[in-house]
Amino acid sequence: MSGNGTILVNDGGFGSGNAPNFDGDNADGSLTPTEIDLPSVTDGLTKKFSTCSLSGGAKRILILDGESLRTKDLVDCEKGLCILKLSEASKERIVKTRQLLETIVTEHRTVYGITTGFGTFSNVQVAPQELEQLQVNLIRSHAAAYGEPLTPSATRMLLALRINVLAKGYSGISLVNVEKMIAAFNAFCVSKVPQQGTVGCSGDLCQLAHLALGLLGEGEMWSPETGWANAAEVLKVHGLEKMTLGPKEGLALINGTQMVTSLGALAVERSFNIARQADVIAALSLDVLKGTTRAYDVDIHRVRPHKGQQLSAQRLRTLLHSDTNPSQIAESHRNCGKVQDAYTLRCVPQVHGIVHDTIEFARGIINTEMNSATDNPLVFAERGEIISGGNFHGEYPAKALDFLAIAVAELAQMSERRLERLVNTDLSGLPTFLTPKGGFNSGFMTVQLCAAALVSENKVLCHPASADSIPTSCNQEDHVSMGGFSARKCLKVIEHVETVLSLELICACQGIEFLKPLQSTRPLQRVYDLVRTVFAPLVDDRYMKPEIDEVIKLVRANQVWRVVEEEVDDFKDRECRDPDTLRQDTTTPTGIVLAERYGICD
């Protein structure tokens, strides 16, 4: 966030009560201010801002400075939780840059995209009286994308991010036009932006041209009051002025990686949520399958100290059986003779761990890209120069999102195999397909089938889009990133992962029905209770799709993590103070077996 901070306002318009309750609103709808620390991208300092839940119409003012926007901020824009405002420093930079550009135009210098054509036409000089029409022509000609439009909420992210890039002050756009963009955002007026048709270099030209077209009063726009309608009419309904473009302003609006990056921010945040919940769901499955917790011993992961692996193992220790946090299910098989489990149980920290680390890698790339000047040419007011470069190339976010998709897909690979164990009586000891009347009822037979199908689709979607490149613009743009598809398919992979883990969660809770009256640990029992608010135990076959969808909603809303978060943090703190708090010793089921079999004692 900007050092200027975040201001709370009450907006009675769109967004009041419409945003998902992701961030811990009070049950009574009241506002709870909290302090959140966010490290600055540029100087490493921690900046504090006040925020609160936004039910009842309260929103926070997100101050854009081109330097400190984070993925979560952008996702809050997607949810309709923010009103935008420029920092004062950004306003000053924008004005200085525009003054330099206008001076250059007045002096009739030859500068790419300002007094010349674009791409292959960069050697064509444009007459002074045609410079403004040149920019309008650019927007109209480049608004040629294809496919279903982005949702209005996703387009808000795109618009907010483009404004943030302009706020850096290297684009040459006028302050009045940036303020018109902010006014449109704050009124929730967004252009129709088809998703396909970008090669991710020179940025997302087609999508950003569609974004700009509506602000010119052409094409279509959407608002809560009008729905999809003629852009000029939407602007008129909301009392908004059309943008009028001067030299270079059309180019300033469309040159950049904002579609791949804005969708990438959403992918990072959704990945972060599902990866944490994957640890929780895996823990529940392990307890139901009567697995051993020995593989999560702190010393095992201390000697292979990958950050994500240690994080995942610690979460599993906090969730599963210990003297501090007992599970009756675990106690029931204390002398079962089992020493180790299959890899999808035993190696959860090693597999989930690299997913956690990959998410943080992708977050770093996306956060940097969100606060980068990706125009061409760039205007350096302090040097008095306009320089052509290649910051519009989308290879950074494209590669990061291809990597993210590959990593997150593994969560579903692991989950589907655990789900198979749950429904397979030979592997679980539970009734086949988790139904008490097998044969007469099919139980969860096709739930596993559905999970397998989604995992298979992910294998295809994980092929990296950025491995391809097709030259464009008469071979002037002879290497491109294909980042738009990297972002779109990454989100589809994440959607499948959320679904597969939800199916595993449903089956794990059904497994508990056959272990009653035994209970799991306190945090895992709360997960069971959460699921039972929307999905009743299966006794006889019934139509389950609506209930499955409700569980998926819980997972996408991060509710599985929320019900265990406090206890996970508490046990983590205890373990930091006393490393033996959650350590498994010879009194644990596996410890007893090892001690008896090999004479081992801790």
DSSP-assigned letters across all residues of 67-94: S---HHHHHHHHTT-EEEEE-HHHHHHH
Summarize the confidence of residues 214-231 as an average pLDDT: 98
Q: Where are the alpha helices (DSSP H) in 196-257?
A: 205-215, 231-237, 249-254
pLDDT at 44 exceeding the cut of 80: no
- Kindly tell me if the per-residue pLDDT of 55 is higher than 90: no
Average pLDDT (283-312) is: 96
Residue 71 CA: distances (Å) to CA of 123, 332, 407: 39, 45, 19
The reported pLDDT for the residue numbered 602 is 32
Q: How far apart are CA 162 and CA 208, in angstroms?
A: 9
Residue 457, both tokens = 């689709």
* 400 has pLDDT over 60: yes
State both tokens at 248: 């270079």
- Nearest 5°: the CA angle 195, 260, 465 is 85
pLDDT band at 585 (very low <50, low <70, confident <90, very high): low
Q: How confident is the model at residue 474 (pLDDT cuts 50, 70, 90)?
A: confident
Tell me what the mean pLDDT of segment 13-25 comes to: 33
- pLDDT of 32 > 60? The answer is no
Of 178-192, 246-260, 571-585, where does mean pLDDT reach its minimum?
Answer: 571-585
Q: From the candidates 112, 170, 296, 396, which is the catalytic residue?
A: 112
Task: Answer whether residue 31 shows pLDDT above 60.
Answer: no
Measure the CA angle with vertex 144, ends 140 and 149; round to 5°. 115
CATH 1.10.275.10 residue ranges of the chain are 60-123+131-255
**Full-model pTM:** 0.87
Pairing of strands 34-39, 82-86: unpaired
Assess if CATH 1.10.275.10 describes domain 60-123+131-255: yes
One-letter amino acid identity for 209? A
Q: Give the H/E segment covering residue 228.
A: strand 227-230
pLDDT grade for 25, boundaries at 50, 70 and 90: very low
Place of tokens 């799709």: 545
Strands 194-196 and 220-223: unpaired
Q: What is the dihedral of CA 422, 423, 425, 430, to 10 degrees?
A: 60
Burial readout 566-589 (b: 16 or more C-beta within 10 A, e: otherwise): ebbeebbeebeeeeebbbbeeebb
Q: What mean pLDDT do residues 292-315 have?
A: 95
Q: What is the DSSP string of 422-447?
A: HH-HHHHSSPGGG-TTBTTB-TTHHH
112 is catalytic: yes
Please report, rounded to a whole number, the percentage of residues in the chain having pLDDT higher than 90.
75
Averaged pLDDT of the chain: 87
| CA–CA distance, 385 with 362 (Å, rounded to integer) | 33
The predicted pLDDT at position 57 comes to 61
Q: Residue 16's pLDDT band (boundaries 50, 70, 90)?
A: very low
Q: Is there a contact between 526 and 563 (Cβ–Cβ < 8 Å)?
A: yes
Q: Which amino acid is at 13?
A: G
Are 521 and 327 spatial neighbours (Cβ–Cβ below 8 Å)? yes
Q: CATH 1.20.200.10: which residues of the chain?
A: 265-376+393-467+478-576
Of the candidates 79, 489, 10, 534, the residue with the CA atom closest to the CA atom of residue 263: 489
Asked if residue 266 has pLDDT above 90, the reply is yes
Judge whether 61 and 182 are in contact, CB under 8 Å: no
> What pLDDT score does 30 carry?
29
Q: Residue 398, Cα to own-chain centre: how many angstroms?
A: 15
Q: How confident is the model at residue 124 (pLDDT cuts 50, 70, 90)?
A: confident
Pairing of strands 58-64, 82-86: parallel
pLDDT of 586 strictly over 70: no
Q: Which CATH superfamily is domain 265-376+393-467+478-576 in?
A: Fumarase/aspartase (Central domain) (1.20.200.10)
Per-residue pLDDT for 155 more than 50? Answer: yes
Span 404-425, pLDDT tens digits: 999 999 999 999 999 999 999 9
- How much is the average pLDDT of 120-143? 89
Cα 65 from Cα 268, distance rounded (Å): 22
pLDDT at 36 over 90: no
**Collapsed DSSP state (helix, strand, coil) of residue 594:** helix
For helices 545-556 and 522-532, the axis angle rounded to 10 degrees is: 130
* Distance of alpha carbon 306 from alpha carbon 202, whole angstroms: 37
d(CA 501, CA 271): 12
- Beta-strand runs (E) in 249-332: none
The mean pLDDT of 549-577, rounded to a whole number, is 92
Per-residue pLDDT band at 206 (split at 50, 70, 90): very high
Please give the average per-residue pLDDT across 208-219, as a whole number.
98
- Which of 32-46, 257-271, 392-406 has the weakest average pLDDT? 32-46
Q: Which tokens sit at 545?
A: 């799709």
User: In this structure, how many other beta carbons lie within 10 angstroms of the beta carbon of residue 400?
Assistant: 29
The confidence score (pLDDT) of residue 418 equals 98
**pLDDT exceeds 50 at position 301:** yes
Q: Tell me the C-alpha distance between 342 and 426, whole Å.
A: 13
Q: How would residue 24 be classed by pLDDT, with cut points 50, 70 and 90?
A: very low
pLDDT of 584 reads 58
Overall average pLDDT of the 14-27 stretch: 33
Whether the per-residue pLDDT at 353 is higher than 90: the answer is yes
Dig out the tokens for 159 from the structure. 């618009």
Of 478 and 405, which is predicted with more confidence? Answer: 405
Q: How far is CA 555 from CA 16, 303, 501, in A?
A: 23, 33, 8
The tokens for 103 are: 């001076």
pLDDT value at position 513? 98
Mean pLDDT of 322-326: 88
Q: Is the pLDDT of residue 10 over 80?
A: no
Q: How confident is the model at residue 43 (pLDDT cuts 50, 70, 90)?
A: very low
Contact partners, residue 581, CB within 8 Å, separation at least 6? 322, 324, 571, 574, 575
Q: How many residues does the chain have?
A: 602
